Amino acid sequence: MSRWWRDLSLLLVSALALLAGGLVQAAQQPAWAALIWAVGSLVMALVLVVEIGRRLARREVGVDVIALVSILAALGLEQMLVGAVVALMLATGRALESLSRQHAERELRALIERAPRHAWIQEGSGLREVPVDDVQPGQTVLVRLGEVVPVDGCLQSAQATLDEAALTGEPLPVTRYAGECLASGVTNAGSPVLLLATRCAAQSTYAGIVRLAEAARRSRAPFVRLADRFALGFIPLTLLIAAAAWWFSGDMQRVLAVLVVATPCPLILAVPIAIISGISRAARRNILVRDGQVLEALAKIRQVFLDKTGTLTGGHAHVQSVEVQGEVLPLHLLELAASLAQASSHPVAQAIVRAARLRGLLPTAPRNVQEIPGQGLAGTVQGHAVRMGAVGYVQGDAGTGAWTQARLQELDYLAGSGCFVAIDGQMKGVIRLADNLRLEAPHTLRLLRARGIEKIVMLTGDRLETAEMIALTAGIDELHSGLTPQDKVHWVQEGCRHAPTLMMGDGINDAPALAAADVGVAMGASGVTASAQAAGVVLLVDRLDRLVEVLDIARHAVLVARQGVWAGMGLSLLAMLVAAAGYLPALLGALLQEGIDLLIIGNALRALGPLPGIGRNGMPCVDIDRLEDEHRQLDRVLADLGQMARDFSRRPADKARADLRTLVAGLHDLLERHERDDERRLYPLLSHYLPGEDPLSAMSHTHREIFRLIHLLSRMSDDFNRGHALPGADEVQHQLIRLDTLAKLHFAQEEALFRSLDRR
């Protein structure tokens, strides 16, 4: 029998006993009424005896002892009605606690119950439905519209439209292409697709998340034992007040009244309900807290250690620019490189393919592809021999020329990486890549300091030059680079000696450090990784600012729990003193204690509600989604702007004129229209949610400067295309650089602003 049904049965027995005894008493049968009330009291007493016996076997003394003593005292003094009322009071409190637990665990249960139970296996020309646990790697799985992907696998269909909100929090459907890996737990939002299973269900992403959820749901918060430690002082105090009441009055009814109002339901209820409510609230925000001990430890954190790659940065390479030498065009070089990169699953290769598609290029199928892991790719594309990868692999025995050496120096200065490309045996260009800092990272670190975090440290195995750029941009207090996993453990342990410490990471190499910290936080949705298994908290949404939110939730839940403990003990102590003085009869005391219980339960449930002083400021989610979607639609024109800002003056004259004309048209149609729409509709709306008379005046000024530069470029384009002596290519490039710099800064500011308002 489940805890809920057992407590509900006790409540029904206690209520029926009290009601039946009352009816018999009204029928002038006091002896039978007393017997019925006694039976109801004894049932509760027997349950308490069994539970207390089990706790004593574990060498634990709990608050249930006082409840048992009060029922036995009522029966011993032949106050059967009082005993029945106390039994009903306890049964009501237990039932309410179970109901609260069920409500608080709803999100955790929903996560577990969402796991798929069956899968469709394609065999030959037919389909066979099998239990999801029977799916083996190498089998082809069909996922229909609306179904949850049952196992991790590689997409075989041309493309798939997926709802990944359950794992990443992304509100919009995401398109994946053939060859990409799909994580179990995402929902197919488009046509049926086929995937090749790469893991069995037990080893897949969603199964790992479910295991973590089940562990959190089953756990009993150690903070509850803190309530039992309170009871170690509360029990002797209760007995002392009861003894004093008997000593000064000789009236056992006062003793009974003291014991009745001392029944420690507030102590029993306040802590577990508040803690589990906090865990549940975190789960609603896609933050999985392993147990109550972790939640309590979170509330004490004063130092934060962060990994770099995948935590402070997005963990994915992005193409920043394409640098070329000779007559080859940047987009043509990117198209050739992307065509060859299609044959590789390496993250850099996939980033190049994504960049080509973003710019509207159509990669062609390569031939005779050869890949050397860690070095690069070689093959034939459109009749050209193309080689791409590390400079040594691409350059071969020809040595490093002046142009290549200059590009290597630039990459070193910018703390980035590059994929060099040779065509028909000649070095033609380099594709610059970087793992960008998360947009929300600086804002998150400022919020952490506002929450009382004393020191923020970055631990990374990356080289110092790269780590320094990220640390300076994010606002890190202390940096340690070039670390092994053992080194990370050392620094975390050193931090734990000075203050409660949190370590946050996402990779397998972070798992030892996560386990060494007072609280480990795993970044991202991959619940089967070693980092997630070692962590006490798993962020199922790929957003760094959830760290601030889980700290707020933990501190609020622990505060509510402590308030419940002290308020419950204080009210019970006051009632005991009144009862000891003879002003509170036992029966009235039992009713008063029931009211205290309800008050404490209501207070504990506050941990489920909104955090005080923290919210989304009423910002409509739809506007944030619209902005992010429009920003994504502008990626292509902004990428073209950035590329032309770097190489416009080196382009052939005819090509430069055509490219500039196309770019200006795109700036008018997309960028200018977007910014004017923001100025007319979005900014006035936002002003209502931000302090100050005109909080977005600086952003509006940037809009006006963007409009001016677009207009200037439009005039320069007209003159440049007419062949006028002025402006020259250098002057046009100068204005392109200004607009590119301003647009990047403005978009970063806008996205940081909206992420600060978005608390989804």
Convert the pLDDT of each residue in 505-532 to its tens digit: 875 567 778 878 889 898 765 444 545 5
φ/ψ of residue 154, rounded to 5: -105, 130
Residue 724 Rama label (left phi>0; alpha psi -120 to 50; beta): beta
Exposure string of 92-121, with b = 16+ CB inside 10 Å and e = fewer, is bbbbbbbebbeebbebbeebbeebbeebbb
Where is mean pLDDT largest: 21-30, 59-68, 75-84? 21-30
pLDDT digits (tens, 9 = 90+) for 405-464: 888 887 877 767 889 999 998 999 999 888 878 878 888 888 898 888 999 999 987 778
- Of 601 and 578, which is predicted with more confidence? 578
pLDDT digits (tens, 9 = 90+) for 38-62: 888 888 888 888 877 887 777 666 5
Over 50: is that where the pLDDT of 223 sits?
A: no
Question: Per-residue pLDDT averaged across 76-95, rounded?
Answer: 72
Distance CA 274, CA 608 (A): 8
pLDDT of amino acid 69? 72
Distance CA 421, CA 378 (A): 10
Type of residue numbered 396: G
CA 236 to chain centroid, in Å, comes to 45
Residue 618: pLDDT band with limits 50, 70, 90: very low
pLDDT digits (tens, 9 = 90+) for 88-109: 767 776 675 566 556 545 555 5
Q: Is 130 helix (H, G, I), strand (E, B) or coil?
A: strand
Question: Per-residue pLDDT averaged across 649-654, rounded?
Answer: 83
Distance CA 155, CA 692 (A): 50
Residue ranges with strand state E in 375-530: 376-381, 384-389, 417-423, 426-434, 455-459, 478-480, 501-505, 519-523
Which tokens belong to 26? 């009204």
How many Cα atoms sit within 13 Å of 68 on the Cβ side? 15
Residue 171: pLDDT band with limits 50, 70, 90: very low
Residue 624: pLDDT band with limits 50, 70, 90: low
pTM for the whole structure: 0.63
Distance CA 332, CA 324 (A): 10
Share of the chain above pLDDT 90, in %: 11
pLDDT of amino acid 169? 44
pLDDT of amino acid 529? 52
Tell me the pLDDT of the chain averaged across its residues.
Answer: 79
pLDDT digits (tens, 9 = 90+) for 677-728: 888 777 777 777 777 767 888 888 888 889 889 988 888 888 887 776 667 8
Question: Per-residue pLDDT averaged across 339-367, rounded?
Answer: 86
Question: Per-residue pLDDT averaged across 278-284, rounded?
Answer: 81
Residue 340: pLDDT band with limits 50, 70, 90: very high
How far are the Cα atoms of 128, 689, 750 from residue 682, in angstroms, in the given order? 51, 11, 11
Residue 619: pLDDT band with limits 50, 70, 90: very low
Alpha helices in 77-138 (DSSP H): 80-104, 106-113
3-state helix, strand, coil in the chain (%, to 5): 60, 15, 25
